[in-house]
């Protein structure tokens, strides 16, 4: 992995104000290297340029760390990353927040296998790849997250059977998805939408927090 990527990652982590150790930063770089290595076989991402991978994948996923840390208060938390693909943001969350227990679910077997490979290669006991359709999962997770996965109504409907009592949904989106919010089921409430800034990327991003509510 080239030196520029390491410097860019460190600068981005600093811009986001994240207290990551050298070991965690190295893990993120090793993860990016694994994506590049296995991309040809597993077709994990359309992005091939390391600079794009840094901003669009690593730094974009890292914007979730501070909001999620505020929510979990660094308590042990079971997190389900839906439609995770090559593990974004799930693998990044597992590296940066060791107190989390992260499952990355994808309907494509190769992508779930890649996440499993990452867990073994980087020695991340708190990470696993699941090959399944999210609708089939019934194990309870306190936080269910997704990044550019599906519309908000589909996301909450498909993953509801896996949401623990008192659990929340955390969706990483582009610009404020008002029409999707308007289409949410009546018993799902948006309780917070926060803007996210990706270092080095001039795009709109936000995080939509949702939870079930009595109707």
- Closest-CA residue to 211 (of 189, 193, 194): 189
Q: In order along the chain (215 residues), what is the average pLDDT of each group of 10 residues? A: 81 97 97 88 69 83 97 97 93 98 95 95 98 96 94 98 98 97 98 96 95 89
What span, in angstroms and rounded, lies between the C-alpha atoms of 29 and 161? 34
Q: How many residues does the chain have?
A: 215
Prediction pTM value: 0.95
Cβ(100)–Cβ(93) under 8 Å? yes
pLDDT at 46: 65
CA angle centred on 55, ends 54 and 56, rounded to 5°: 105
pLDDT at 42: 72
pLDDT at 47: 62
Place of tokens 């359309």: 46
Mark residue 31 as left, alpha or beta (left: phi above 0; alpha: psi -120 to 50; beta: remaining): alpha
Cβ(58)–Cβ(34) under 8 Å? no
User: What residue ranges define each of the domains in the chain, with the CATH number in brackets?
Assistant: 3-212 (3.40.50.150)
pLDDT at 38: 85
């Amino acid at each position: 992995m080239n030196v520029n990527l390491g410097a860019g990652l460190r600068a981005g982590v600093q811009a986001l104000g994240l207290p990551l150790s050298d070991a965690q930063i190295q893990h993120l770089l090793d993860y990016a290297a694994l994506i590049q290595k296995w991309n040809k076989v597993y077709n994990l991402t359309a992005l091939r340029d390391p600079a794009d991978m840094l901003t669009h994948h690593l730094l974009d996923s890292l914007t979730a760390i501070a909001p999620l840390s505020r929510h979990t208060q660094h308590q042990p938390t079971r997190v389900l990353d839906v439609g995770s693909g090559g593990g974004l943001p799930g693998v990044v969350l597992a590296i940066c927040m060791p107190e989390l227990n992260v499952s990355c679910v994808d309907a494509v077997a190769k992508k779930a296998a890649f996440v499993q490979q990452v867990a073994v290669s980087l020695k991340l006991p708190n990470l696993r790849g699941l090959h399944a359709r999210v609708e089939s999962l019934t194990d309870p997770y306190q936080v269910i997250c997704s990044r550019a996965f599906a519309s908000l109504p589909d996301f909450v409907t498909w993953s509801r059977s896996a949401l623990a009592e008192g659990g929340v949904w955390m969706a990483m989106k582009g610009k404020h998805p008002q029409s999707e919010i308007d289409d949410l089921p009546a018993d799902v409430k948006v309780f917070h939408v926060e803007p996210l800034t990706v270092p080095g990327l001039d795009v709109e991003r936000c995080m939509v927090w949702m939870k079930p509510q009595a109707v």
